[in-house]
Amino acid sequence: MHELSVCQGLLDQVASIARQNQAIGVKRIRLQIGPLSGIEPQLLEQAFPLASAGTLAEHAELAIESLAVRVHCETCGAETEAAANRLLCGACGDWHTKLISGDELLLVSVELTTVARQEVSNAH
Amino acid sequence: MCNTCGCNVTPGNAHTAQQKNARGESAVEVLQDLLSENDRAAAHNRAHFDEHGVLAVNLMSSPGAGKTALLEATVDALKQEYRLAVIEGDLETENDSARIRQHGVPAYQITTGSACHLDAHMVHTALHHVPLAGLDILFIENVGNLVCPASFDLGQHCNVVLLSVTEGDDKPAKYPVMFRAADLLLLTKTDLLPVLDDFSPQRAENYLRALANPAPILQLSARKGLGLDGWLHWLRMEVRTRKQQAAVQRAQQPLARPTAVPATLPNGRFERVG
């Protein structure tokens, strides 16, 4: 299971964003994980408390959005939804398709708790 | 997709790129791949390979599909023609690299401990022990696993996935992430097909095509030396393509490194100059 190592990578990215923004905490981490990413959202959710313990993201909410698998047909041009293991065109049934969504493994955004802007400027 | 130009914003996620937090707390939009650290290391590895004109082939399959046996047969067939090296990935033991070394080519073993896949950093570390200069092909034998290795770019130029006929022909449907990544599918141990009437190569192909994957499919038996010609031909074509692309890359470099321009030999191979 590689979700724990992916989770640790995620937390490194979050920590570096938090540092850049002088954050004192992380409220929410928004991810997008497609069914064809190779990452299981449930396992990532289980790994998160273990990996985040003692970090700025310890109490953060992990919000995972899963996008539908969609393909563009190179034969008929249709855009249709598909199953992860059956990427055929929903209109004409051809297999010459390109994936347009469903393999995302994205850190979308991080919501940070920062000290109020005024305090920051006073400090300078 | 990269993480710099915005091409990772797909029609499905474009709305989230504009998301703002309403409570005065700052929301930082990132849209960065969760494996970006690995991808950076993989790009670094690939740059090393390209600099030396080395073809890097990532072999993936379930445990026991015959990756090492295929490499042994391949090494025997090609070691006079090309300079080869192998990086082996396993949880434990040096067995596989020892097997390869017995065939007279350098092999470096990565033991991952409990990790179920190789990642770009492990391969980078291994490259310190595998001199790339003068090499034509570097084989990376990934950990036997049809799940995790598919998610980690190592810097390879192509993925070769093995499916032995002692497994089910519906493996591509069961492990779509892995088989979608295949640039070549090898059906192995096909000498056993006559006694395995439940494995249909046609069904395996149909399942692969259902993943919108146009990769060629070859049948072989490394043990019996059957069907190796197609695989060796595919490798030769890939080596030739890699050398040509490396030559173009070298030719495009600024004049600060004029010695890097390759000379073409009559037989179509490229000679390294400088």
Query: Considering the domain boundaries, does residue B33 fall inside one?
Result: no
Query: Considering the domain boundaries, does residue B54 fall inside one?
Result: yes
The CATH number of whichever domain residue B221 belongs to comes to 3.40.50.300
Q: Which residues of B touch A70 (CB under 8 A)?
A: 11-12
Work out how many domains chain B is built from and give that number.
Answer: 1
| B16 vs A: CB within 8 A | yes
Q: How far is B7 from chain A (nearest CA, A)?
A: 12
Contact between chains at B34 and A114 (C-beta distance less than 8 A): no
Q: How far is B191 from chain A (nearest CA, A)?
A: 28
Q: Is the Cα torsion angle B176, B115, B157, B151 positive or negative in sign?
A: positive
User: Best-predicted range by mean pLDDT among A4-13, A38-47, B166-175, B240-249?
Assistant: B166-175
Q: Which residues of A touch B174 (CB under 8 A)?
A: 85
Q: Which residues of A touch B148 (CB under 8 A)?
A: 1-2, 38
Q: How far is A85 from chain B (nearest CA, A)?
A: 5
Q: Is the Cα torsion angle B246, B247, B248, B252 positive or negative in sign?
A: positive
Query: Considering the domain boundaries, does residue B256 fall inside one?
Result: no
Query: Considering the domain boundaries, does residue B6 fall inside one?
Result: no
Domains defined for chain A, CATH in brackets = 3-70+103-115 (3.30.2320.50)
Query: Considering the domain boundaries, does residue B60 fall inside one?
Result: yes
Query: Considering the domain boundaries, does residue B52 fall inside one?
Result: yes
Output the tens digit of pLDDT for each of chain B's 274 residues. 444 454 555 555 555 544 444 454 778 888 889 998 899 999 999 999 999 999 999 999 999 999 999 999 999 999 999 999 999 999 999 999 999 999 999 999 999 998 889 999 999 999 999 989 999 999 999 999 999 999 999 999 999 999 999 999 999 999 999 999 999 999 999 999 999 989 999 999 999 999 999 999 999 999 999 999 999 999 999 999 999 998 888 787 665 555 544 444 444 444 444 3
CA distance B109 to B89: 6
Query: Considering the domain boundaries, does residue B87 fall inside one?
Result: yes
Cβ neighbours, 10 Å, residue B8: 18
- Domain extent at residue B146: 38-226
| B148 vs A: CB within 8 A | yes
- Under 8 Å CB pairs connecting chains A and B tally to 139
CB A69 within 8 A of CB A101: yes
